[in-house]
């Protein structure tokens, strides 16, 4: 009976973990909807007011409209990652600008919204669409990019575990994590940028972006285990897999996740990694500053944790030595007293 109860408890725990993982990964997608998606708008005042009204009627609260002077400014807003799309009304008529590289699902949503702004076919209908920053021709729907994010995080987590288990000295662990990040950045850039060719851009910049992402995850994993022991591994797993990955918005955009989870996801390594790699590959680094800062902070936190673990390790031998010396002094005092 005792063995049966233990077996049931283990099975129940496994079911709980499975249910938690499924919920964590599916809940954001099941409740996704646009929320203040940045949208540029250039139009004469009367048409601008009509378009803004129709946008609010079609999708209340879905867009954060930013007025720009002309189409040049609208294009700049997209290439700088200040907006996902733009509606421009000029002498040629109304037309829509999108940047599918920033998120194919967002570009598709904007195209659909533009086509339905004027269901009656009035002059404010937006049916002419230009993709200013297109996705890779080898990955037009962003599937390969989305599929890359989870393996980057998972492999970096495993790398951190392996480094911790196989290297005893803290300085070796720190060096191992750094070498893993550099090697991983080079290898993944070769695969994604050249072999499969779905990530354009500078190879050096891509290597730096991917390597920084890997170092944030592997470094935190190693540092957590070095500081608090084996419990650091499940802690890193929970943070990186159950929290960061579902909130990364790699398949869509942070603005499509329920508030405030989209913003929180961008402050976690997976979301920051997706944003930094996307910005580096397609936008020349524009829009990647926050992500780079976030990843740097996670790396800095790992360095602080490793330093604390090193200081504690140095204190333990000193404490043992002091204890032995105190014991010897007490023994010597006892002998002297007895004599």
Mean pLDDT of 125-153: 90
Give the model's confidence band at 229: pLDDT under 50 very low, under 70 low, under 90 confident, else very high: very high
What gap in Å lies between CA 96 and CA 101, rounded to an integer? 15
Q: What is the pLDDT of residue 132?
A: 95
Question: Which DSSP state fits 59?
Answer: S
Range from 29-33, 48-52, 221-225, 317-321 carrying the lowest mean pLDDT: 317-321
For 203, the enclosing helix (H) or strand (E) is helix 203-228
Beta strands 128-131; 93-98: pairing state: parallel
How far from 139 is each of 193, 196, 197, 199, CA to CA, in Å? Answer: 12, 9, 9, 9
Residue 135: per-residue pLDDT? 94
Q: Cα 11 from chain centroid? A: 32
| Tokens at 254, concatenated | 């942070």
pLDDT score, position 317: 56
Q: Residue 76: what pLDDT?
A: 96
Looking at residue 329, its pLDDT comes to 53
Residue 32 has pLDDT above 80, yes or no: no
pLDDT of residue 190: 97
Largest CA distance in the chain: 112
Domain boundaries, the chain: 37-131, 143-318
| Residue appearing with tokens 């990652």 | 81
Place of tokens 């524009």: 286
Query: Sorting pLDDT into bands at 50, 70 and 90, what band is 45?
Result: confident
Give the pLDDT score at 136.
94
Tell whether the model's pLDDT for residue 325 goes beyond 70.
no
**191 vs 27, more confident:** 191
């Amino acid at each position: 009976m005792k063995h049966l109860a233990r077996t049931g408890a283990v099975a129940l725990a496994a079911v709980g973990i499975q249910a938690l993982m499924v919920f964590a990964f599916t809940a954001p997608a099941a409740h996704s909807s646009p929320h203040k998606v940045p949208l540029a708008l250039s139009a004469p005042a009367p048409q601008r007011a009509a378009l803004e009204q129709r946008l609010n009627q079609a999708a209340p609260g879905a867009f954060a409209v930013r007025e720009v002077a002309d189409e040049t400014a609208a294009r700049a807003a997209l290439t700088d990652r200040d907006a996902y799309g733009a509606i421009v009304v000029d002498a040629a008529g109304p037309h829509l600008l999108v940047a599918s590289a920033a998120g194919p699902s967002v570009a598709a949503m904007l195209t659909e919204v533009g086509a339905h702004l004027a269901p009656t076919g009035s002059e404010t209908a937006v049916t002419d669409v230009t993709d200013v920053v297109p996705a890779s021709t080898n990955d037009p729907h962003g599937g390969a990019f989305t599929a890359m994010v989870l393996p980057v995080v998972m492999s970096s987590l495993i790398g951190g575990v392996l480094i911790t288990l196989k290297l005893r000295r803290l300085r070796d662990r720190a060096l191992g994590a750094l070498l893993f990040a550099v090697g991983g950045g080079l290898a993944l850039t070769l695969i994604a940028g050249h072999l499969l060719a779905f990530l354009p851009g500078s190879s050096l910049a891509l290597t730096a972006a991917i390597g920084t992402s890997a170092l944030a995850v592997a470094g935190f994993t190693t540092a957590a285990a070095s500081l608090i022991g084996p419990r650091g591994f499940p802690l890193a797993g929970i943070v990186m897999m159950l929290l960061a990955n579902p909130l990364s918005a790699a398949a869509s955009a942070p603005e499509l996740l329920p508030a405030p989870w989209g913003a929180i996801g961008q402050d976690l390594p997976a979301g920051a990694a997706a944003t930094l790699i996307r910005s580096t590959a397609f936008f020349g680094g524009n829009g990647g500053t926050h992500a780079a800062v976030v990843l740097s902070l996670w790396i800095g936190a790992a360095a602080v944790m490793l330093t604390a673990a090193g200081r504690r390790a140095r204190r333990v031998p000193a404490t043992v030595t002091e204890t032995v010396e105190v014991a010897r002094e007490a023994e010597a005092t006892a002998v002297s007293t007895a004599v």
